[in-house]
Amino acid sequence: MKRSNEPIFWSLFGAGGMLAALIGPALVFITGIAVPFGLIFKPDTMSYAHMLAFSQNWLGKIFVLAVIALFLWHAAHRIHIVLHDFGVHAVTLVRVLCYGGAFVGTVIAAYTLLKL
């Protein structure tokens, strides 16, 4: 019996899920509610200059990449298996679209962050 390569995708999925559960709601609150409505944080917290400085720092880069890439891989795997559960049989196409999308997103994010 052939060893499955699923652990690669499952690990990215698991890591993304863990990260999403830990900081997803907080991120939504900070970036989508608190900052725009001027609660808690200073109004210019997410100004271009601040965000640029954040993403120029190595730790900032790693954080942004982890959030973007792992969330994407998590979503890709989730969408893939849900489609599978619902009996969408175009397995290769679905895989290419889901994981391919996550891969392209990861590459673009990494490239952009490196150039900053």
Partner 1 sequence: MADTEKIIEIQVLRYRPEQDKEPVLQSFKVPFTDDMSVLQGLQYIKDFLDGTLSFRWSCRMAICGSCGMMVDGKPKLSCKTFLREYYPQGLRVDALAHLPIERDLMVSVEDFVTKLESIKPYIIPKEPRTLEQGEYLQTPQQRDMYEQFSSCINCMLCYAACPQYGLNPSFTGPGILALMHRYNADSRDGGQAERNELGYADEGYWGCTAVGYCSEVCPKGVDPANAINQNKMASAINYFTRFITPGGAEK
Give the residue among 104, 106, 95, 38 at the shortest CA–CA distance from 71.
106
Shortest Cβ distance from residue 87 to partner 1 (Å)?
6
Shortest Cβ distance from residue 98 to partner 1 (Å)?
13
Q: Three-class SS of residue 33?
A: helix
For 42, how many CA atoms within 13 A lie in the half-sphere containing its CB? 5
**Distance from the first to the final alpha carbon of the chain:** 47
Shortest Cβ distance from residue 90 to partner 1 (Å)?
13
Question: What residues make contact with partner 1 under the rule CB under 8 A?
Answer: 1-4, 6-8, 10-11, 14, 81, 84-85, 87
Shortest Cβ distance from residue 43 to partner 1 (Å)?
42
For partner 1, give the closer residue by CB, 58 or 92: 92
CA–CA gap between residue 50 and residue 13 (Å, rounded) = 30
Residue 27: DSSP 8-state: H
For partner 1, give the closer residue by CB, 9 or 71: 9
For partner 1, give the closer residue by CB, 14 or 101: 14
